[in-house]
Amino acid sequence: MMTSPDNDNFQEGPMVFIVIGRAYEENDSEGIPIHVLLTAPDDDTAVRETLNALSEEGFAEADLDQIGSINEIPDEEPHASAYRGALTGEVSIIRFR
């Protein structure tokens, strides 16, 4: 039985994802650029949890453009705080206006 992966994708601790896109408060409104940081077991779950969190925040629609993982704490705010929040189980939404 294999106990370790054959590739470089193994990471100790939770995987923190960043999802980049645009969220819309109303269907015909101008979109707000967003970054969402959260932990999830895979990218499909990360996308689903991102959409759920945006809906709970009152957004009607979202266009998600990119998803990736963050391997170390970011140097600058607001991403550093959002990263720490994601490690505690929060879904952190950063809005750019």
Beta carbons of 12 and 73 less than 8 angstroms apart: no
**Number of independent structural domains in the chain:** 1
Domain-located, residue 4: no
Beta carbons of 7 and 20 less than 8 angstroms apart: no
d(CA 83, CA 85): 5
pLDDT value of residue 8: 54
Domain-located, residue 2: no
The residue type of 59 is F
Per the structure, the complete domain to which residue 62 belongs is given by: 16-95
3-state secondary structure the chain: CCCCCCCCCCCCCCCEEEEEEEEECCCCCCCEEEEEEEECCCHHHHHHHHHHHHHHCCCCEEEEEEEEEECCCCCCCCHHHHHHHHHCCCCEEEECC
Quickly count: other Cβ atoms within 10 Å of residue 2's Cβ: 5
Global confidence as pTM: 0.84
Domain-located, residue 26: yes
Domain-located, residue 55: yes
Domain-located, residue 84: yes
Domain-located, residue 80: yes
pLDDT block averages, 10 residues each, the chain of length 97: 46 85 87 97 96 96 96 94 96 94
Domain-located, residue 66: yes
Domain-located, residue 3: no
